[in-house]
Each structure stands twice: as C-alpha cells, then as structure tokens.
Structure 1
Amino acid sequence: MAKKKKRKISANTIGTNKQARRLYEILETFEAGISLVGSEVKSLRAGQVSFKDGYVQFRDASAYLIGIHIAPYDKTGVYDQHDPERPRQLLLHKQEIVMLKAKTEQKGLSVIPMKMYFSRGKVKVQIGLGRGKNVHSKKQDLKDRDISRDTARQLAAYK
C-alpha cells in the first residue's frame, strides 16, 4: 500500500474562522473543494469573506456550507450577482460525507469551516469536526496560553 503524501497548505489563505478553535475542540480536519460561481471567486480573490455563523449541513448525501458570507463583487453587473448567503456545495468523497454525517448525528459533534484558501488555483475549505467547549474549558485554555507565554518570556530573558 502506498503512503499518502502530506500536502502542505500554501500561503494563499483567503480567510480564517478565528472563533472556531475558541468555541470548539477540533478533533479532525478535512480539506474540501467548494462549488462557486465566477463572481464569488473574484470576490474571494479580493478577500471578501466572513465566516460569522458558518457550519456544514448534510442533505441528500451531499454536504453544504451554510452561513458563509461572500460579498458581492462590485465590478459585476446587477443581473450576474450572486446571493451572498446562498448554500454552497462542498466537494468531498462519499465515504467522508457518510462518516461525517454519522458522527454529527450520533455523538453530537459539529462540522465547521476553519479556513478558506487557494490551492493550485482552486478554492479549498478546511473543515473541522469539533465538539463545543463549555465555559470552564475556555477559561482553562486562556490560563494555559498565559502560562506558556510567561515561560517563553522568562526563557528569552535568560538567553
């Protein structure tokens, strides 16, 4: 059996969901393609995307990205504009869709978009399978981050 090559995500990041790691404990991540129209791609090249309340919904053996706002491209005519909040189909393997759908239904996990980027000229979305954090775990994460920052400062002071 051949080994899978690890793919490196390029520096062509369009946008990131800054709330994802704060609100969710990410268990697994997946890379998915996304079905877009031309004006959406132009708008993404300008970096006009907002993840605000985005999530992935499963319908009829397909995965859809809901709640992502891609701003209308201002140089497109009135009749060729896209709906900024429309559901966009994610391009995943059927096994991945079945597995993600089963995990979200049984274990109470959520699938959320984490990052959007260009990979070889195509728009890709990094989605994460995550469990919502409670207030206690959010505070613990802040404490751990503060402790690691303080130790790094002290180590830098001794060098």
Structure 2
Amino acid sequence: MAKTANNKTGKDTGKSAKGGTIALNRRARHDYHLEDRFEAGLALQGWELKSIRAGRANITEAYANIRNGEIHLLGAQFTPLISASTHVVAEERRARKLLLHRSEIDTLIGRVQRDGYTVVPTALYWKGNKVKIEVVLAKGKQTHDKRETNKERDWAREKQRVMRRHNKNA
C-alpha cells in the first residue's frame, strides 16, 4: 500500500487515508464478553471526516443505542479542528446513525432486547475511502470474571517464560 503525504512539507507522515485503523476500543475486551461482530458505516458530517483524517477520533466511551428501529452511536468523540468552518456548531459527542442492513439491525435489536446484550464499538477504520466501524454484541463482565481473565493471561505469560527458559537450556 502506498503511503500518502499528509502535511504541507510533502513528507510522508506514515498515515494513509485509504486504509488502516483510526481508533480502537481496547477497554471493550476487558469489560465485556465479545460475541458477534458487525461492520457498519457511519453517517458523518464534513467536519467530522476532517477531524477523523487528522486523527482526532475517540471511541473508548462509545456505545450503541436503539431509537425508532435504527441504531445510533453515542459517546464517540470527534474533536473539531480549529480550521473547520466557524458557522457550524460542532457537537463532539452527538448521536451518529450506524448504517447497517435491515437484517443486521433486526438481529441486533432482537439480541439486545431479548437476551440482554449491549452493542459496543471496538474499532474505527478506513475501508477504501469510507469510514467503517466494527460493532460487537457483548455481555458485561462481572468483577470476578475480570479477575479470572487477568489470572489466565498472567498464567499464559508465565508458561511462555518457563518454556523459553526450558528451551534455552536444552
């Protein structure tokens, strides 16, 4: 993939507008049991797209909500640029409509209302020249579940250390 020059000097900044991750929600893995993944488009305004290109997107506190048979992203923060148009009143955390197929919307609505799931965004990324968001059906973890996950991760790390030492000595 070719890298693009994104600054006035023409030097390569390493960020490409054609592909790659914009923002991740790493906290979601810690707080939820993640199950089914869906790829959705986002209904954005022009200033929001400019903000995303500048790397000013944050989805760590975001979640999806159901309104009138549609799914909206709430809590995502797109900080407006200073150079953006001044006549637009920018709402950093406004509700943004998620663009999904009707069958996917029905699946999400059914699982949320019937089975007690929540819809959490995990990644915001470029697909071609469009912004996509990965949303996941998730169930909240209890405190003891989080402790168990930490114990398993620590034990796996310790096993790797022991195996590395054992293989080094052999």
In structure 2, C-alpha distance between the alignment counterparts of 1:77 and 1:130, rounded to whole Å: 38
Question: How high is the TM-score relative to the length of structure 2?
Answer: 0.83
Contact 2:23 / 2:57 at 8 angstroms: preserved in 1?
yes
Contact 2:19 / 2:128 at 8 angstroms: preserved in 1?
no
Q: Letter of the 2:26 partner, please give it.
A: K
Q: What residue number does 2:6 align with?
A: none
Measured after TM superposition, the shift of residue 18 of structure 1 is 1.6
Give SS of 1:96's match.
helix
Q: Letter of the 2:137 partner, please give it.
A: L
Tell me if 1:60 matches 2:68: yes
Tell me if 1:27 matches 2:41: no
Measured after TM superposition, the shift of residue 81 of structure 1 is 4.8
Q: Letter of the 2:102 partner, please give it.
A: K
Contact 1:73 / 1:81 at 8 angstroms: preserved in 2?
no
Q: What residue number does 1:39 align with?
A: 47
In structure 2, C-alpha distance between the alignment counterparts of 1:125 and 1:63, rounded to whole Å: 13
Q: What residue number does 1:130 align with?
A: 138
More off after superposition, 107-116 vs 68-77:
68-77
Q: Letter of the 2:92 partner, please give it.
A: P
Runs of 4+ in 1 over 6 A off after TM superposition: none
In structure 1, C-alpha distance between the alignment counterparts of 2:81 and 2:164, rounded to whole Å: 47
CA deviation map 1:40-87 (0-9, x unaligned): 111111221222421111112211101111101221121135311110
In structure 1, C-alpha distance between the alignment counterparts of 2:44 and 2:77, rounded to whole Å: 13
More off after superposition, 88-97 vs 57-66:
57-66
In structure 1, C-alpha distance between the alignment counterparts of 2:48 and 2:54, rounded to whole Å: 10
Contact 1:24 / 1:131 at 8 angstroms: preserved in 2?
yes
Give SS of 2:73's match.
strand
Contact 1:39 / 1:81 at 8 angstroms: preserved in 2?
no
Alignment of 1:70-149 (within 5 A): 70-149=78-157
Structure 2 residues not aligned, in runs of 5+: 1-17
Measured after TM superposition, the shift of residue 21 of structure 1 is 0.6
Identical counterparts, % of pairs: 33
CA deviation map 1:99-129 (0-9, x unaligned): 1001101111100111100011110000010
Measured after TM superposition, the shift of residue 155 of structure 1 is 2.1
Give SS of 1:78's match.
coil
Q: Work out the number of aligned pairs and report it.
A: 150
Q: Letter of the 2:77 partner, please give it.
A: H
Change (3 A) 1:101 1:45: same
Tell me which of 5, 24, 31 is aligned to 1:16.
24
